[in-house]
Amino acid sequence: MTGGEIFGTCRAIVFDLDDTLYAQVAFKRSGFRAVATRLAQEGIVDAPVAMASMERQLAALGPSHPRILDAAMADLGLTGIRVDSLVSVFRDHRPAICPYPGVIDLLTDLHPGFQLGLLTDGLAAVQRGKVGALGLDGCFDAMLFSDELNTSKPDPVLFEWFERRFELVGGQLLYVGDNPAKDFTGARRRGWRTLRVMSGEHAGVIAPATAKDAELSIDCVTDLRRLVLPPAHQAWGD
């Protein structure tokens, strides 16, 4: 089946955020720069030295690892420092990040024909800060931060929330994400269509089971345009 045949009944599109609409590693590096600056301001270690250590740990552990700062402080020999205070600096900083090329134009072109949503895991305050920094505040009809419901993907209740909000069911909704470990199972349980973007940290990850992967994949999120928009809009966005 073609993408048009799979997604032809869709009336709403809900997007993941991290590594789907922007590169999560850019957020990590932005936060690390804020931490390095704080360490330098407090006379603990020079900012370039701290940043180099965090970059090494980022490369070794991956962007999603929860203990990159701990590993970096150990690497620097700063065993007595309070890492939780650095985590606060990381979380509270104003991120210097931008969407993948063409994302805002894509969302603008999709909006006349589809209701648009955003569903993302992570601390709600941090994720809201990302949305603002990316300039995506006005791009969605509804945004749901799973943290505010005290759950996370793949909990089907998150997808049911959008069904109620958009007054749609099952195959009328499409979820676009990047992580086969959690992004698609809940959506598929609710009968949604699913699309995987092969970008970011999980681009090379093979789904553990067919039921956990999406029905179709694309190289980057702007490739969605050719699957769901009329030919005139496809040409305009290329």
What number is the average pLDDT over the span 129-143? 97
Strand partners of residue 175: 14, 194
- The whole domain housing 56 covers 25-92
Instruction: Tell me the per-residue pLDDT of 83-106, one tens digit each, with 9 for 90 and over.
Output: 999 999 999 999 999 999 999 999
Question: For residue 119, is pLDDT > 90?
Answer: yes
Task: Give pTM, 2 decimals.
Answer: 0.92
Q: Which of 41, 62, 92 is the last residue of a domain?
A: 92
Instruction: Tell me the per-residue pLDDT of 158-214, one tens digit each, with 9 for 90 and over.
Output: 999 999 999 999 999 999 999 999 999 999 999 999 999 999 998 988 887 777 889
pLDDT at 3: 57
Q: Check: CB of residue 117 under 8 Å from CB of residue 142.
A: yes
pLDDT at 186: 95
pLDDT at 237: 46
138 lies in the same domain as 226: yes
113 lies in the same domain as 63: no
CATH code: domain of residue 180: 3.40.50.1000
Domain count, the chain: 2
Q: Which of 59, 92, 125 is the last residue of a domain?
A: 92
Percent of the chain residues past pLDDT 90, beyond the cut? 83
